[in-house]
Structure 1
Amino acid sequence: MTTTNTKGNPDISVAAITRRGWREISPAVFAVVGTLILWELAVKWLKVPEIIIAAPSSIGHSLVHNAKLLADSSGVTLAIIVYGFALSVVLGIVLALLLVRFPTASRAVYPLVVLFQTVPKVALAPIFVIWFGYDLSPKILLIIVISFFPISLNMIAGLRSVDPNLLLLMRSIGCSKTETLLRVMVPSALPSLFAGLKIGVTFSVIGAIVAEFSGANRGLGYLIQFASSQLDTPLVFASLVVVSAMGVALFYAVALLEHFIIPWASSSEI
Protein backbone atom coordinates (compact mmCIF):
# COMPACT_ATOMS: atom_id res chain seq x y z
CA MET A 1 0.00 0.00 0.00
CA THR A 2 1.34 3.41 -0.95
CA THR A 3 2.10 5.64 2.05
CA THR A 4 1.52 9.38 2.06
CA ASN A 5 3.36 12.20 3.74
CA THR A 6 1.86 15.06 5.75
CA LYS A 7 1.06 16.99 2.60
CA GLY A 8 -0.95 14.11 1.16
CA ASN A 9 1.53 13.32 -1.62
CA PRO A 10 2.58 9.75 -2.34
CA ASP A 11 5.75 8.71 -0.58
CA ILE A 12 8.02 7.84 -3.50
CA SER A 13 11.03 6.05 -2.03
CA VAL A 14 14.22 5.03 -3.78
CA ALA A 15 13.26 1.39 -3.29
CA ALA A 16 9.89 1.93 -4.98
CA ILE A 17 11.51 3.65 -7.94
CA THR A 18 14.08 0.85 -8.17
CA ARG A 19 11.38 -1.84 -8.13
CA ARG A 20 9.41 -0.04 -10.82
CA GLY A 21 12.49 0.37 -13.00
CA TRP A 22 13.40 -3.28 -12.57
CA ARG A 23 9.88 -4.39 -13.57
CA GLU A 24 10.21 -2.37 -16.76
CA ILE A 25 13.65 -3.56 -17.82
CA SER A 26 13.64 -7.10 -16.45
CA PRO A 27 11.98 -8.70 -19.53
CA ALA A 28 14.69 -7.25 -21.78
CA VAL A 29 17.44 -8.27 -19.35
CA PHE A 30 16.19 -11.86 -19.15
CA ALA A 31 15.80 -12.03 -22.94
CA VAL A 32 19.37 -10.80 -23.53
CA VAL A 33 20.90 -13.06 -20.87
CA GLY A 34 18.94 -16.08 -22.13
CA THR A 35 20.02 -15.42 -25.71
CA LEU A 36 23.69 -15.12 -24.69
CA ILE A 37 23.55 -18.36 -22.70
CA LEU A 38 21.93 -20.27 -25.57
CA TRP A 39 24.42 -18.74 -28.01
CA GLU A 40 27.39 -19.80 -25.84
CA LEU A 41 26.07 -23.32 -25.36
CA ALA A 42 25.24 -23.75 -29.05
CA VAL A 43 28.72 -22.67 -30.17
CA LYS A 44 30.42 -24.97 -27.64
CA TRP A 45 28.10 -27.93 -28.21
CA LEU A 46 28.18 -27.75 -32.02
CA LYS A 47 31.92 -26.96 -31.96
CA VAL A 48 31.52 -24.08 -34.39
CA PRO A 49 34.94 -22.68 -35.39
CA GLU A 50 35.61 -19.22 -33.95
CA ILE A 51 36.45 -17.93 -37.41
CA ILE A 52 32.80 -18.49 -38.39
CA ILE A 53 31.02 -17.26 -35.29
CA ALA A 54 32.49 -16.18 -31.98
CA ALA A 55 31.03 -17.22 -28.66
CA PRO A 56 29.84 -14.48 -26.31
CA SER A 57 32.74 -15.29 -23.97
CA SER A 58 35.22 -14.68 -26.81
CA ILE A 59 33.45 -11.45 -27.74
CA GLY A 60 33.60 -10.29 -24.12
CA HIS A 61 37.31 -11.07 -23.98
CA SER A 62 37.85 -9.09 -27.19
CA LEU A 63 35.89 -6.14 -25.75
CA VAL A 64 38.19 -6.07 -22.72
CA HIS A 65 41.42 -6.79 -24.60
CA ASN A 66 40.73 -4.17 -27.31
CA ALA A 67 39.00 -1.63 -25.07
CA LYS A 68 41.29 1.28 -25.99
CA LEU A 69 41.13 0.54 -29.71
CA LEU A 70 37.35 0.28 -29.59
CA ALA A 71 37.07 3.47 -27.52
CA ASP A 72 39.23 5.45 -29.95
CA SER A 73 37.32 4.12 -32.95
CA SER A 74 34.00 4.86 -31.25
CA GLY A 75 35.00 8.47 -30.67
CA VAL A 76 35.77 8.95 -34.36
CA THR A 77 32.51 7.35 -35.50
CA LEU A 78 30.42 9.15 -32.88
CA ALA A 79 31.74 12.54 -34.00
CA ILE A 80 30.78 11.78 -37.60
CA ILE A 81 27.31 10.64 -36.51
CA VAL A 82 26.67 13.75 -34.41
CA TYR A 83 27.78 16.16 -37.14
CA GLY A 84 25.85 14.35 -39.85
CA PHE A 85 22.70 13.95 -37.77
CA ALA A 86 22.71 17.60 -36.69
CA LEU A 87 22.92 18.75 -40.30
CA SER A 88 20.22 16.23 -41.26
CA VAL A 89 17.90 17.72 -38.63
CA VAL A 90 18.45 21.25 -39.92
CA LEU A 91 17.99 20.24 -43.56
CA GLY A 92 14.95 18.05 -42.85
CA ILE A 93 13.13 20.70 -40.82
CA VAL A 94 13.90 23.55 -43.21
CA LEU A 95 12.83 21.50 -46.23
CA ALA A 96 9.58 20.48 -44.52
CA LEU A 97 8.75 24.07 -43.59
CA LEU A 98 9.42 25.31 -47.11
CA LEU A 99 7.41 22.57 -48.79
CA VAL A 100 4.40 23.14 -46.52
CA ARG A 101 4.62 26.93 -46.68
CA PHE A 102 4.89 27.02 -50.48
CA PRO A 103 2.56 24.37 -51.98
CA THR A 104 3.63 25.11 -55.55
CA ALA A 105 7.26 24.40 -54.69
CA SER A 106 6.14 21.27 -52.88
CA ARG A 107 4.48 19.88 -55.99
CA ALA A 108 7.68 20.48 -57.94
CA VAL A 109 10.32 19.45 -55.41
CA TYR A 110 8.70 16.67 -53.36
CA PRO A 111 8.69 14.07 -56.20
CA LEU A 112 12.38 14.80 -56.77
CA VAL A 113 13.10 14.27 -53.08
CA VAL A 114 11.28 10.93 -53.14
CA LEU A 115 13.10 9.93 -56.33
CA PHE A 116 16.46 10.78 -54.79
CA GLN A 117 15.58 8.74 -51.70
CA THR A 118 15.09 5.60 -53.82
CA VAL A 119 18.73 5.71 -54.97
CA PRO A 120 20.75 3.01 -53.11
CA LYS A 121 22.86 4.92 -50.61
CA VAL A 122 25.57 2.26 -50.57
CA ALA A 123 26.20 3.07 -54.23
CA LEU A 124 26.61 6.75 -53.39
CA ALA A 125 29.34 6.18 -50.79
CA PRO A 126 32.23 5.49 -53.23
CA ILE A 127 31.04 8.33 -55.47
CA PHE A 128 31.20 10.77 -52.56
CA VAL A 129 34.72 9.52 -51.79
CA ILE A 130 35.77 10.24 -55.37
CA TRP A 131 34.23 13.71 -55.25
CA PHE A 132 35.29 14.83 -51.77
CA GLY A 133 38.22 12.64 -50.77
CA TYR A 134 38.74 10.63 -47.58
CA ASP A 135 38.12 13.30 -44.93
CA LEU A 136 34.89 13.94 -43.01
CA SER A 137 32.96 15.51 -45.90
CA PRO A 138 31.84 12.35 -47.79
CA LYS A 139 30.93 10.57 -44.56
CA ILE A 140 28.83 13.44 -43.23
CA LEU A 141 27.20 13.91 -46.63
CA LEU A 142 26.21 10.24 -46.78
CA ILE A 143 24.66 10.46 -43.31
CA ILE A 144 22.68 13.51 -44.43
CA VAL A 145 21.25 11.88 -47.55
CA ILE A 146 20.28 8.79 -45.53
CA SER A 147 18.83 10.55 -42.48
CA PHE A 148 17.14 13.75 -43.63
CA PHE A 149 14.26 12.08 -45.50
CA PRO A 150 12.46 10.40 -42.54
CA ILE A 151 12.92 13.60 -40.53
CA SER A 152 11.47 15.76 -43.28
CA LEU A 153 8.69 13.31 -44.16
CA ASN A 154 7.49 13.00 -40.56
CA MET A 155 7.67 16.76 -40.11
CA ILE A 156 5.57 17.32 -43.23
CA ALA A 157 3.02 14.77 -42.04
CA GLY A 158 2.79 16.51 -38.68
CA LEU A 159 2.42 19.96 -40.23
CA ARG A 160 -0.36 18.77 -42.51
CA SER A 161 -2.28 17.00 -39.75
CA VAL A 162 -3.11 20.13 -37.76
CA ASP A 163 -6.76 20.58 -36.74
CA PRO A 164 -8.42 22.56 -39.57
CA ASN A 165 -10.44 24.50 -36.99
CA LEU A 166 -7.23 25.95 -35.58
CA LEU A 167 -6.18 27.05 -39.04
CA LEU A 168 -9.55 28.72 -39.61
CA LEU A 169 -9.25 30.45 -36.25
CA MET A 170 -5.81 31.83 -37.06
CA ARG A 171 -7.07 33.01 -40.44
CA SER A 172 -10.10 34.67 -38.87
CA ILE A 173 -7.97 36.79 -36.55
CA GLY A 174 -5.81 37.97 -39.44
CA CYS A 175 -2.68 35.85 -38.99
CA SER A 176 -0.51 35.37 -42.06
CA LYS A 177 0.38 31.93 -43.38
CA THR A 178 3.87 32.23 -41.94
CA GLU A 179 2.53 33.16 -38.49
CA THR A 180 0.09 30.25 -38.60
CA LEU A 181 2.91 27.93 -39.60
CA LEU A 182 5.20 28.98 -36.76
CA ARG A 183 2.63 29.48 -33.98
CA VAL A 184 0.23 26.59 -34.61
CA MET A 185 1.51 24.09 -37.13
CA VAL A 186 5.08 23.70 -35.86
CA PRO A 187 4.12 23.05 -32.19
CA SER A 188 1.47 20.58 -33.34
CA ALA A 189 4.02 18.78 -35.52
CA LEU A 190 6.59 18.23 -32.75
CA PRO A 191 5.46 14.66 -31.90
CA SER A 192 5.75 13.68 -35.55
CA LEU A 193 9.11 15.43 -35.79
CA PHE A 194 10.51 13.45 -32.86
CA ALA A 195 9.27 10.23 -34.42
CA GLY A 196 11.33 11.14 -37.48
CA LEU A 197 14.32 12.11 -35.34
CA LYS A 198 14.38 8.70 -33.67
CA ILE A 199 14.36 7.04 -37.07
CA GLY A 200 16.93 9.47 -38.42
CA VAL A 201 19.42 8.98 -35.60
CA THR A 202 19.46 5.21 -36.13
CA PHE A 203 19.92 5.76 -39.87
CA SER A 204 22.83 8.07 -39.03
CA VAL A 205 24.65 5.21 -37.31
CA ILE A 206 24.13 3.02 -40.36
CA GLY A 207 25.27 5.81 -42.66
CA ALA A 208 28.46 6.38 -40.69
CA ILE A 209 29.43 2.71 -40.80
CA VAL A 210 28.67 2.43 -44.53
CA ALA A 211 30.70 5.58 -45.19
CA GLU A 212 33.66 4.20 -43.25
CA PHE A 213 33.42 0.96 -45.20
CA SER A 214 33.93 2.93 -48.41
CA GLY A 215 36.91 4.98 -47.39
CA ALA A 216 38.42 5.54 -43.96
CA ASN A 217 41.49 4.78 -41.91
CA ARG A 218 39.81 5.16 -38.52
CA GLY A 219 36.43 4.48 -36.95
CA LEU A 220 34.32 1.45 -36.15
CA GLY A 221 33.46 0.79 -39.78
CA TYR A 222 37.14 0.68 -40.67
CA LEU A 223 37.83 -1.52 -37.64
CA ILE A 224 35.15 -4.00 -38.70
CA GLN A 225 36.66 -4.26 -42.16
CA PHE A 226 40.19 -4.58 -40.81
CA ALA A 227 39.22 -7.26 -38.29
CA SER A 228 37.33 -9.14 -40.99
CA SER A 229 40.37 -9.10 -43.30
CA GLN A 230 42.47 -10.49 -40.42
CA LEU A 231 39.84 -13.19 -39.71
CA ASP A 232 39.50 -11.78 -36.19
CA THR A 233 35.84 -12.69 -35.79
CA PRO A 234 35.63 -11.84 -32.05
CA LEU A 235 36.82 -8.29 -32.79
CA VAL A 236 34.25 -8.01 -35.59
CA PHE A 237 31.47 -8.97 -33.19
CA ALA A 238 32.91 -6.73 -30.46
CA SER A 239 32.81 -3.79 -32.87
CA LEU A 240 29.23 -4.63 -33.79
CA VAL A 241 28.32 -4.70 -30.09
CA VAL A 242 29.78 -1.21 -29.65
CA VAL A 243 27.98 0.07 -32.75
CA SER A 244 24.68 -1.35 -31.52
CA ALA A 245 25.17 0.12 -28.05
CA MET A 246 25.94 3.48 -29.60
CA GLY A 247 22.78 3.36 -31.70
CA VAL A 248 20.61 2.44 -28.72
CA ALA A 249 22.16 5.22 -26.62
CA LEU A 250 21.54 7.82 -29.32
CA PHE A 251 17.95 6.64 -29.79
CA TYR A 252 17.20 6.98 -26.09
CA ALA A 253 18.97 10.34 -25.98
CA VAL A 254 16.47 11.62 -28.56
CA ALA A 255 13.62 9.97 -26.62
CA LEU A 256 14.81 11.71 -23.45
CA LEU A 257 14.91 15.05 -25.26
CA GLU A 258 11.38 14.40 -26.48
CA HIS A 259 10.28 13.66 -22.91
CA PHE A 260 11.54 17.04 -21.71
CA ILE A 261 10.35 19.13 -24.67
CA ILE A 262 6.90 17.60 -25.19
CA PRO A 263 6.19 15.50 -22.08
CA TRP A 264 2.48 15.43 -22.82
CA ALA A 265 3.03 13.70 -26.14
CA SER A 266 6.19 11.66 -25.62
CA SER A 267 5.92 7.90 -25.69
CA SER A 268 7.16 5.52 -23.02
CA GLU A 269 10.51 4.43 -24.44
CA ILE A 270 12.36 5.89 -21.43
Structure 2
Amino acid sequence: MPSGTPGVSGVSARDRPGAGERLARVVDAGWRPAVLLIACFAAWWIVAAAELVEPYLVPSPGATLDVLTGKTSYLWQHTWVTTYETLLGFAIAVAVGVLAAVVMVYSSTVEKTLYPILLFAQVVPKIAVAPLFVVWLGFGITPKILIAVLIAFFPVVISMVTGLKAVDPEMLQLSATMGAKPWQTFVKIRFPASLPHLFSGLKVAVTLAVTGAVVGEFVGANEGLGYVILQANGNLDTPMLFAGLLVMSLIGVVLFVLVEIAEKLLLPWHASRRDVGATTAF
Protein backbone atom coordinates (compact mmCIF):
# COMPACT_ATOMS: atom_id res chain seq x y z
CA MET A 1 0.00 0.00 0.00
CA PRO A 2 1.51 3.38 -0.92
CA SER A 3 2.63 5.43 2.03
CA GLY A 4 0.33 8.28 2.92
CA THR A 5 -2.79 6.70 1.30
CA PRO A 6 -5.87 5.68 3.27
CA GLY A 7 -5.77 2.12 4.57
CA VAL A 8 -8.55 -0.37 5.11
CA SER A 9 -9.43 1.18 8.45
CA GLY A 10 -9.73 4.64 6.90
CA VAL A 11 -6.72 5.95 8.81
CA SER A 12 -3.97 7.48 6.72
CA ALA A 13 -0.50 6.06 7.23
CA ARG A 14 2.03 8.63 8.34
CA ASP A 15 5.42 8.75 6.71
CA ARG A 16 8.42 8.56 8.97
CA PRO A 17 10.03 11.99 9.15
CA GLY A 18 13.22 12.26 7.18
CA ALA A 19 16.52 13.59 8.43
CA GLY A 20 15.72 17.06 7.11
CA GLU A 21 12.38 17.17 8.89
CA ARG A 22 13.88 15.95 12.15
CA LEU A 23 16.61 18.57 11.90
CA ALA A 24 13.98 21.24 11.25
CA ARG A 25 12.08 20.15 14.36
CA VAL A 26 15.21 20.32 16.49
CA VAL A 27 16.05 23.77 15.13
CA ASP A 28 12.49 24.97 15.70
CA ALA A 29 12.57 23.69 19.30
CA GLY A 30 16.03 25.04 20.06
CA TRP A 31 16.42 28.43 18.43
CA ARG A 32 14.42 30.32 21.06
CA PRO A 33 16.47 29.15 24.08
CA ALA A 34 19.61 29.64 21.97
CA VAL A 35 18.66 33.26 21.30
CA LEU A 36 17.92 33.79 24.99
CA LEU A 37 21.31 32.35 25.99
CA ILE A 38 23.09 34.53 23.44
CA ALA A 39 21.24 37.57 24.78
CA CYS A 40 22.26 36.69 28.35
CA PHE A 41 25.91 36.28 27.38
CA ALA A 42 25.75 39.54 25.42
CA ALA A 43 24.36 41.35 28.46
CA TRP A 44 27.07 39.75 30.59
CA TRP A 45 29.75 40.92 28.17
CA ILE A 46 28.33 44.46 28.03
CA VAL A 47 28.21 44.74 31.83
CA ALA A 48 31.81 43.53 32.10
CA ALA A 49 33.14 45.62 29.20
CA ALA A 50 31.47 48.79 30.42
CA GLU A 51 32.78 48.11 33.93
CA LEU A 52 29.33 48.65 35.38
CA VAL A 53 30.29 46.16 38.09
CA GLU A 54 33.71 45.58 39.61
CA PRO A 55 35.60 42.69 37.94
CA TYR A 56 36.03 40.88 41.26
CA LEU A 57 32.23 40.73 41.50
CA VAL A 58 31.34 39.88 37.89
CA PRO A 59 34.23 38.68 35.70
CA SER A 60 34.18 39.09 31.96
CA PRO A 61 33.18 36.18 29.71
CA GLY A 62 36.75 36.22 28.37
CA ALA A 63 38.24 35.76 31.85
CA THR A 64 35.85 32.91 32.55
CA LEU A 65 36.67 31.30 29.21
CA ASP A 66 40.38 31.57 30.00
CA VAL A 67 39.80 29.62 33.20
CA LEU A 68 37.75 26.98 31.37
CA THR A 69 40.45 26.48 28.75
CA GLY A 70 43.50 27.07 30.92
CA LYS A 71 42.52 24.82 33.83
CA THR A 72 40.71 22.10 31.94
CA SER A 73 42.38 19.20 33.72
CA TYR A 74 41.72 20.72 37.15
CA LEU A 75 38.05 21.34 36.36
CA TRP A 76 37.65 17.94 34.71
CA GLN A 77 39.00 16.17 37.77
CA HIS A 78 36.46 17.83 40.04
CA THR A 79 33.67 17.59 37.45
CA TRP A 80 34.10 13.84 37.29
CA VAL A 81 33.76 13.57 41.08
CA THR A 82 30.52 15.56 41.11
CA THR A 83 29.16 13.66 38.11
CA TYR A 84 29.91 10.33 39.75
CA GLU A 85 28.18 11.39 42.97
CA THR A 86 25.20 12.65 40.98
CA LEU A 87 24.79 9.53 38.86
CA LEU A 88 25.14 7.15 41.78
CA GLY A 89 22.75 9.16 43.95
CA PHE A 90 20.26 9.40 41.08
CA ALA A 91 20.43 5.67 40.37
CA ILE A 92 19.82 4.80 44.02
CA ALA A 93 16.96 7.31 44.23
CA VAL A 94 15.31 5.79 41.15
CA ALA A 95 15.66 2.20 42.36
CA VAL A 96 14.43 2.89 45.89
CA GLY A 97 11.81 5.40 44.75
CA VAL A 98 10.21 3.07 42.20
CA LEU A 99 10.16 0.20 44.69
CA ALA A 100 8.63 2.40 47.39
CA ALA A 101 6.00 3.68 44.97
CA VAL A 102 4.98 0.16 43.94
CA VAL A 103 4.65 -0.94 47.57
CA MET A 104 2.63 2.18 48.42
CA VAL A 105 0.23 1.67 45.53
CA TYR A 106 -0.39 -1.99 46.35
CA SER A 107 -0.69 -1.42 50.12
CA SER A 108 -2.83 1.38 51.49
CA THR A 109 -1.43 0.73 54.96
CA VAL A 110 2.13 1.32 53.77
CA GLU A 111 1.03 4.41 51.85
CA LYS A 112 -0.72 5.94 54.85
CA THR A 113 2.33 5.19 57.00
CA LEU A 114 5.11 6.13 54.61
CA TYR A 115 3.69 9.12 52.74
CA PRO A 116 3.66 11.55 55.72
CA ILE A 117 7.24 10.57 56.53
CA LEU A 118 8.32 11.19 52.94
CA LEU A 119 6.60 14.56 52.96
CA PHE A 120 8.29 15.51 56.23
CA ALA A 121 11.69 14.43 54.88
CA GLN A 122 11.12 16.50 51.74
CA VAL A 123 10.29 19.76 53.51
CA VAL A 124 13.33 19.55 55.79
CA PRO A 125 16.09 21.67 54.15
CA LYS A 126 18.84 19.33 53.01
CA ILE A 127 21.50 21.96 53.67
CA ALA A 128 20.44 21.80 57.34
CA VAL A 129 20.91 18.04 57.68
CA ALA A 130 24.00 17.79 55.48
CA PRO A 131 26.38 18.62 58.37
CA LEU A 132 24.89 15.73 60.35
CA PHE A 133 25.71 13.32 57.53
CA VAL A 134 29.27 14.59 57.51
CA VAL A 135 29.54 14.06 61.27
CA TRP A 136 28.02 10.58 61.04
CA LEU A 137 29.66 9.38 57.81
CA GLY A 138 32.82 11.43 57.52
CA PHE A 139 34.16 13.59 54.71
CA GLY A 140 34.14 10.87 52.07
CA ILE A 141 31.83 10.43 49.12
CA THR A 142 29.01 8.76 51.06
CA PRO A 143 27.38 11.92 52.54
CA LYS A 144 27.28 13.58 49.09
CA ILE A 145 25.59 10.57 47.55
CA LEU A 146 23.11 10.35 50.41
CA ILE A 147 22.10 13.99 50.04
CA ALA A 148 21.69 13.52 46.27
CA VAL A 149 19.47 10.51 47.00
CA LEU A 150 17.31 12.44 49.46
CA ILE A 151 16.79 15.35 47.09
CA ALA A 152 16.08 13.21 44.01
CA PHE A 153 13.97 10.59 45.82
CA PHE A 154 10.75 12.54 46.32
CA PRO A 155 10.03 13.44 42.64
CA VAL A 156 10.60 9.82 41.64
CA VAL A 157 8.19 8.46 44.26
CA ILE A 158 5.45 11.01 43.59
CA SER A 159 5.59 10.65 39.81
CA MET A 160 5.62 6.85 40.00
CA VAL A 161 2.73 6.70 42.43
CA THR A 162 0.75 9.08 40.22
CA GLY A 163 1.50 7.01 37.14
CA LEU A 164 0.55 3.71 38.74
CA LYS A 165 -2.72 5.17 40.01
CA ALA A 166 -3.56 6.84 36.69
CA VAL A 167 -4.21 3.55 34.91
CA ASP A 168 -7.66 3.26 33.39
CA PRO A 169 -9.77 1.20 35.84
CA GLU A 170 -11.48 -0.51 32.91
CA MET A 171 -8.13 -1.90 31.79
CA LEU A 172 -7.55 -3.33 35.26
CA GLN A 173 -11.05 -4.84 35.30
CA LEU A 174 -10.49 -6.32 31.86
CA SER A 175 -7.21 -7.93 32.90
CA ALA A 176 -8.85 -9.36 36.03
CA THR A 177 -11.74 -10.70 33.96
CA MET A 178 -9.30 -12.42 31.63
CA GLY A 179 -7.62 -14.10 34.59
CA ALA A 180 -4.38 -12.13 34.65
CA LYS A 181 -2.34 -12.47 37.81
CA PRO A 182 -1.37 -9.32 39.74
CA TRP A 183 2.24 -9.44 38.55
CA GLN A 184 1.07 -9.87 34.96
CA THR A 185 -1.22 -6.87 35.29
CA PHE A 186 1.67 -4.86 36.70
CA VAL A 187 4.12 -5.84 33.95
CA LYS A 188 1.70 -5.54 31.04
CA ILE A 189 -0.54 -2.65 32.10
CA ARG A 190 0.39 -0.69 35.22
CA PHE A 191 4.12 -0.26 34.70
CA PRO A 192 4.00 0.70 30.99
CA ALA A 193 1.17 3.16 31.68
CA SER A 194 3.16 4.76 34.51
CA LEU A 195 6.31 5.41 32.43
CA PRO A 196 5.26 8.85 31.07
CA HIS A 197 4.69 10.08 34.61
CA LEU A 198 7.89 8.42 35.82
CA PHE A 199 10.01 10.09 33.16
CA SER A 200 8.56 13.46 34.09
CA GLY A 201 9.76 12.86 37.63
CA LEU A 202 13.13 11.55 36.44
CA LYS A 203 13.85 14.74 34.51
CA VAL A 204 13.23 16.74 37.66
CA ALA A 205 15.12 14.32 39.88
CA VAL A 206 18.28 14.17 37.77
CA THR A 207 18.76 17.93 37.93
CA LEU A 208 18.06 17.95 41.66
CA ALA A 209 20.64 15.19 42.13
CA VAL A 210 23.31 17.57 40.81
CA THR A 211 22.23 20.12 43.40
CA GLY A 212 22.31 17.50 46.14
CA ALA A 213 25.85 16.41 45.29
CA VAL A 214 27.10 20.01 45.24
CA VAL A 215 25.33 20.82 48.52
CA GLY A 216 27.10 17.88 50.11
CA GLU A 217 30.42 19.18 48.78
CA PHE A 218 29.67 22.62 50.21
CA VAL A 219 29.41 21.17 53.71
CA GLY A 220 32.59 19.14 53.71
CA ALA A 221 34.77 17.97 50.84
CA ASN A 222 38.20 18.26 49.34
CA GLU A 223 37.13 17.57 45.76
CA GLY A 224 34.17 18.19 43.47
CA LEU A 225 32.66 21.29 41.92
CA GLY A 226 31.19 22.37 45.25
CA TYR A 227 34.70 22.39 46.69
CA VAL A 228 35.95 24.36 43.65
CA ILE A 229 33.22 26.96 44.07
CA LEU A 230 33.86 27.33 47.81
CA GLN A 231 37.59 27.72 47.27
CA ALA A 232 37.05 30.27 44.52
CA ASN A 233 34.60 32.20 46.68
CA GLY A 234 37.04 32.30 49.59
CA ASN A 235 39.84 33.55 47.34
CA LEU A 236 37.59 36.05 45.51
CA ASP A 237 38.46 34.19 42.32
CA THR A 238 35.23 34.98 40.52
CA PRO A 239 36.35 33.70 37.09
CA MET A 240 36.90 30.27 38.63
CA LEU A 241 33.63 30.57 40.53
CA PHE A 242 31.71 31.38 37.35
CA ALA A 243 33.50 28.57 35.53
CA GLY A 244 32.45 26.10 38.22
CA LEU A 245 28.86 27.29 38.05
CA LEU A 246 28.80 26.96 34.26
CA VAL A 247 30.20 23.42 34.38
CA MET A 248 27.73 22.46 37.11
CA SER A 249 24.86 23.79 35.01
CA LEU A 250 26.17 21.92 31.98
CA ILE A 251 26.13 18.65 33.93
CA GLY A 252 22.47 19.18 34.78
CA VAL A 253 21.55 20.04 31.19
CA VAL A 254 23.40 17.03 29.75
CA LEU A 255 21.79 14.62 32.21
CA PHE A 256 18.35 16.11 31.53
CA VAL A 257 18.85 15.63 27.80
CA LEU A 258 20.01 12.04 28.31
CA VAL A 259 16.86 11.23 30.29
CA GLU A 260 14.76 12.84 27.58
CA ILE A 261 16.51 10.78 24.90
CA ALA A 262 15.78 7.64 26.92
CA GLU A 263 12.15 8.72 27.16
CA LYS A 264 11.97 9.19 23.42
CA LEU A 265 13.46 5.75 22.76
CA LEU A 266 11.27 3.94 25.28
CA LEU A 267 8.01 5.86 24.77
CA PRO A 268 7.70 6.64 21.05
CA TRP A 269 4.02 5.74 21.29
CA HIS A 270 3.10 8.32 23.91
CA ALA A 271 1.25 11.50 22.97
CA SER A 272 3.97 13.68 24.49
CA ARG A 273 6.44 12.39 21.88
CA ARG A 274 4.27 12.98 18.81
CA ASP A 275 4.83 16.70 18.60
CA VAL A 276 7.70 18.90 19.57
CA GLY A 277 6.60 20.97 22.55
CA ALA A 278 8.09 23.68 24.68
CA THR A 279 9.49 21.18 27.19
CA THR A 280 10.92 18.78 24.62
CA ALA A 281 14.48 19.05 23.43
CA PHE A 282 14.18 16.36 20.73
The answer to whether residue 254 in structure 2 is matched with residue 242 in structure 1 is: no
Partner of 1:181: 186
Partner of 2:67: 62
How far did 1:211 drift? 0.4
Q: Indicate conservation of the 8 Å contact 1:147/1:200, yes or no.
A: yes
Q: Indicate conservation of the 8 Å contact 1:101/1:178, yes or no.
A: no
Aligned length: 263
The answer to whether residue 39 in structure 2 is matched with residue 34 in structure 1 is: yes
The share of aligned pairs that are identical, in percent, is: 34
Per-residue displacement from partner, 1:169-194 (whole Å, max 9, x unpaired)? 12212334343233211110000000
Cα 1:24/1:181, change in 2 over 3 Å: closer
Equivalent-residue separation in structure 2 for 1:13 and 1:250 (angstroms)? 24
Cα 1:20/1:99, change in 2 over 3 Å: closer
Per-residue displacement from partner, 1:51-76 (whole Å, max 9, x unpaired)? 11112122111111221111111011
Cα 1:157/1:66, change in 2 over 3 Å: same
Q: Which of 123, 146, 151 pairs up with 1:146?
A: 151
* RMSD (Å) for aligned C-alpha atoms: 2.0
Q: Indicate conservation of the 8 Å contact 1:101/1:181, yes or no.
A: no
Equivalent-residue separation in structure 2 for 1:10 and 1:220 (angstroms)? 43
Q: How does 1:89-104 map to 2 (within 5 A)?
A: 89-104=94-109
Q: Indicate conservation of the 8 Å contact 2:30/2:281, yes or no.
A: no
Unaligned runs of 5+ in 1: 1-8
Per-residue displacement from partner, 1:222-267 (whole Å, max 9, x unpaired)? 0000011111001000000000011000000000001111112254
Where in structure 1 do 4 or more consecutive aligned residues deviate above 6 Å? none
Unaligned runs of 5+ in 2: 1-14, 274-279
TM-score (norm 2): 0.87
The answer to whether residue 145 in structure 2 is matched with residue 133 in structure 1 is: no
Per-residue displacement from partner, 1:114-144 (whole Å, max 9, x unpaired)? 1121111111111000011111111111111
